[in-house]
Structure 1
Amino acid sequence: MSPDATAMIVDDEPLLREHLQTHLARLWPALRVVAQARNGREAVELFEREAPQVVFLDVHMPGMNGIEAGRAIAGRALTVFVTAYEQYAVQAFEQGAVDYLVKPFEPGRLEATVSRLQQRLAAEPGAAADPAEAGRLDAVLERVARQLRVQATGAPWLQWIKASVGSTLRLIPVDQVAYLRSDEKYTLVAWTGGEALIRKPIRELVDELDPSCFVQVHRSVIVNLRQVEQVTRGPNETADLHLVGRPETLPVSRSYLHLFRQM
């Protein structure tokens, strides 16, 4: 017997909200949809008032998008991301979201999602998410939210990095950069022509670099995926990256290991 539960559906398209609710009523009669929201800000407000156990959350919406709303409610509900852009949902799913649906969703795919939600609720009645799991989800949602903000503004990805080498100002082509590594004051830029120190921190650079090539693999390291030769798994869900033509290795912390599961 399927467990009783409450849910909220968030999408800026009324027809899509109705379509999802209709299918949910057929697949999960014991699920009660207590709220529908048109955007992220409304979703957060309704969530605080209704406290649903399950949230179906569209990624792309005007104003506060679904990723930003997901960060606001992370850890307090079982979240299913709904998007036409699968890569965003996959990142969130791997880090703690219960599931994702790609528009237009197939009824069979939704049925599998419903089954997964029911299993989670039956196993953990009254519990939304593990705190550690919520923390991992929040970290990946923060990165995805930055990517979406850059895309929304139309800002181009960084093409050159300015660095002082001795008394010379160098313009380093971003596509030649192997990795960037920060300490407390500086960021080391390692590229095919050498190394240089800059003052811009990792947290700013990660917003400006094309995420299809550059990914953060540690709180202090960004790597160019095109420069990765192999990945060596380590203990406690960590790994080391070996780069093309370079002797050094780079650490991958457990929060970022999912990026290399398919490599």
Structure 2
Amino acid sequence: MNVLIVEDELRIAKRIERMVLEILSDNLKFIKVSNTLKNAVEYIESNTLDLVFLDLNLNGESGFDLLATAVSKSFYTIIVSAYKDQAIKAFEYGVLDFVPKPFNKDRLELAINRMRTEEKIANNPIKFLTVKKRHKIQLIPIDSIVYIKGAGVYSELFLSDGKTELHDKSLEKLERLLLPSFERVHKSYLVKMTEIKEIIVASGSKYMAELTDGTQIPIGRTKYKDLKAKWI
């Protein structure tokens, strides 16, 4: 696992680093500490990461400036900040967890375990995803997403206006971040439950979800019974 710590207070950065080394131990490939937003952004652009720990106040600069970029990337972000009143806003950016300062090893480990488990993050009030286009960040409201198709390490977002956007996170990672109203109906698809108009049983024991716009999405055989029970 490749980890970046973005923290301007050396004492706290070293404390996070020590705890992460203890928690991840043999699963850690490398760990980098950056004390400025500029250095952090440059490092993110040129390195592959799995996890970023981010403070929201960096020498007077806002961590949210980096967060807008971070949520469009393929890694998870854990906020470590004393600004508890910013937690809701941070979750709206799709962060994995918000660890308030002061913190201990147990609380940090709990945040890391949220990434290592396969459980969905319930009650996460994420309101949008971001995609990077022409070196700019575009916000995609969750309400506008109809379904998502996996495309290798990327995902295609299919929107209610008929447009399609490419997101840097894999389908598995988006599944953990999105609201419970999105269900994994197939190994390659996440669908918003409210968009399903009908569940069709086709010949050859094939199952399809017909959406309100007429699109038909395949349903995995192992997903059919569970999906039907939730849809009804």
Query: Bigger radius of gyration, 1 or 2?
Result: 1
TM-score normalised per structure 1: 0.44
The structure in which a higher percent of residues are strand is 2
The structure in which a higher percent of residues are helix is 1
Return the structure number with greater relative CO, CA threshold 8 A, min gap 6.
2
TM-score normalised per structure 2: 0.49
